[in-house]
Amino acid sequence: MFNSRIGKSYNPQNAAVKSPSNDLAVISQLAAEFADISRKNIQSWREALEAANNAETPRWSLLQDIYEYLRPDAHLGAMMDIRRGLTESTRYYIRDSKTNKEDPVKSKLLEQEWVFDVIGDMVDHAFYGYTVLQITDPILGKYDLLPRRNFIPQKDILLLEAGGENGIDVNDPALKGSIIVIKSRDKFGLLNDIVPDLIWKKNARQAWAMFSEKFGIPLVTATTITRDKKELDRIEAMLKALGKAAQAIFPTGTTIDIKDSAAKGDPYKVFLEQMTYCDAQISKRILGGTMVTDNGSSRSQGEVHERTMNDIIAGRDKKKAEFGFNRKIMFLLRDVFRFPFSETDEFVFDRSESLNLTEHWSIISKAIELGYEIDNDWLSSTFNFPITGKKEPAKTEPEPPKTPKASGRPEVVGSFFD
């Protein structure tokens, strides 16, 4: 059983109101350890799942070490960056939950680098199953991403050593709510579903590298009738030089045979197609489709995949980040670090649709035609062109009355029947 305890540094009476980071930071209490990044296989993965699912003493370090071992993959890294970037790049602000109106002054308080980084770490919970971080000093922009391999999500315990028995209850009141835990709906995270594909892809790449090393350069042999030691040495030297000069003079009775085995067995089909298949599975699990980054058969299908990514995946990540920020971080900023936030203030992402300048200008032009007055300063800053004033219409002189031609007849005014 775990022994959850709080160290001496967590005495709430010693915590400073303005900057309690010295008393609250738990990262200094954890033992310095390194993840096991030795080669992993399917059996290692199964043993890690059993350890994480242990009813009495679950251990997640083995599974998180497998994730770290498989994480250095270019395709997987790109998928994770895209999904994280969809949320990180979205504008956020503070609004009143009752009126739904933005407060620009309060929003400005969170336009800081550490908030941007925290949002990205929050999104990562979907990949690893959970994210554990501690806000130590938002005034100076300090927070710690606590090691996932030390955390036990079933018990909300952060172990001081990944394999030890002593730990810290992250919900302890002495921590003043400074530890934020974001858990995924998928217990083991998205990476767990593609662990086999990542292992098979890594094995295929290693096998292809070995194949290239053995058969990439064709084997060149020589058959000769001479038994003279000097001639044999000269033939051997010329065989070695063939790789550089591709020409040589051999004694009579010598034949050269080039054994090109690189194309035998169709290595592209054996290795490349396996890696391509694994990449497709990675894309489907992380982004919900394959045509956002890979070549597709049509533009319309690619747009469908992109809408699926934006509407379902990005929307889910943003909502989860909002819940975590409002439930824990807003409370911490308001009640511990004395940020001027009220209880009705909430953190939200901007979900208004963005228009390109052409579409935007079309709407504005139509509004001007209908007689609506548009602020010149806003027009100038939005469309990036200077406005010095409104051009007045040119004044036209009234036409002089026409003089009737002299015909000797009286001028007829009006109709005959008037």
Q: At residue 11, what is the residue type?
A: N
Q: Which residue from 48, 29, 26 is spatially nearest to 129, judged by alpha carbons?
A: 48
- Res 116: pLDDT: 94
When pLDDT is averaged across residues 66-73 and rounded to a whole number, the result is 93
The predicted-structure confidence for 296-308, as pLDDT tens digits, reads as follows 555 555 555 566 6
Q: Give yes or no for residue 247 having a pLDDT over 70.
A: no
- Res 9: pLDDT: 32
Helices 195-215 and 42-52 sit at what angle, rounded to 10 degrees?
160
- Res 4: pLDDT: 45
The predicted-structure confidence for 312-346, as pLDDT tens digits, reads as follows 777 888 999 999 999 999 999 998 889 999 999 99
Beta strands (DSSP E) in 233-339 are 255-259
- Our CA dihedral for 312, 318, 321, 327, rounded to 10 degrees, sits at -100
Q: Give yes or no for residue 292 having a pLDDT over 50.
A: yes
Give the pair of three-digit tokens for residue 29.
Answer: 């209490």
> Domain segments of the chain: what residues?
3-195, 197-287, 357-389
Q: Which residue from 182, 116, 110, 143 is spatially nearest to 21, judged by alpha carbons?
A: 143
- Res 384: pLDDT: 75
- Res 53: pLDDT: 93
Give dist(CA 46, CA 38) in Å, integer: 16
State the pLDDT confidence band at 239, using cuts at 50, 70 and 90. Answer: confident
Highest mean pLDDT among 63-72, 231-240, 283-292, 353-362: 63-72
Is 315 or 256 the better-scoring residue by pLDDT? 315
pTM of structure: 0.71
When pLDDT is averaged across residues 73-80 and rounded to a whole number, the result is 92
Give the pair of three-digit tokens for residue 336.
Answer: 């511990």
The DSSP H or E segment spanning 142 is strand 142-145
Highest mean pLDDT among 59-63, 205-209, 250-254, 386-390: 59-63
Give dist(CA 87, CA 102) in Å, integer: 19
- Res 163: pLDDT: 86
- Res 352: pLDDT: 75
- Res 19: pLDDT: 43
Q: How many helices (H) and strands (E) does the chain have?
A: 17, 11
The predicted-structure confidence for 150-190, as pLDDT tens digits, reads as follows 999 999 999 999 888 889 999 988 888 889 999 998 999 99
Q: At residue 66, what is the residue type?
A: I
The predicted-structure confidence for 88-147, as pLDDT tens digits, reads as follows 989 999 999 999 899 999 999 999 999 999 999 999 999 999 999 999 888 888 899 999
- Res 308: pLDDT: 65
Report the Cα 217 to chain-centroid distance in Å.
Answer: 40
- Res 5: pLDDT: 43
Mean pLDDT of the chain: 79
- Res 259: pLDDT: 63
DSSP 8-class letter at 60: -
The alpha-helical segments, DSSP class H, found in 194-272 are 195-215, 229-245, 267
State the pLDDT confidence band at 71, using cuts at 50, 70 and 90. Answer: very high
- Res 118: pLDDT: 95
Q: Give yes or no for residue 356 having a pLDDT over 50.
A: yes
